[in-house]
Amino acid sequence: MIAVIGDSFVDVLAGVQTLPAWGQDSPCKEPIQMQPGGSALNTATQLANLNSGGVALFTAVGADAFGDMLKNHLVKSRVDLH
């Protein structure tokens, strides 16, 4: 079993057509994408992909929609959440 300790995030990716002028806004291109991220989560996921014999991730995950997204991703990736 490999233990990974660290951060987990939901990365929110939004592109723009052009960079805004200083102090101005620029509308985002659709759709805005969300994906699991964070250095520890990414490391644990990739170690699990290597069939390393089990991976445990020790991280904080919220009790909200983003937390649910991370938990589902970890289950699909065969990473134990602690």
Alpha helices, DSSP H, located in the chain:
39-49, 65-76
Listed as ranges, residues in the chain with pLDDT below 70 are none
Class of the domain covering 2-81: alpha beta
pTM of this structure: 0.83
pLDDT at 51: 80
**Per-residue pLDDT tens digits for 37-50:** 999 999 999 999 99
- Is residue 60 within 8 A of residue 77, CB to CB? The reply is no
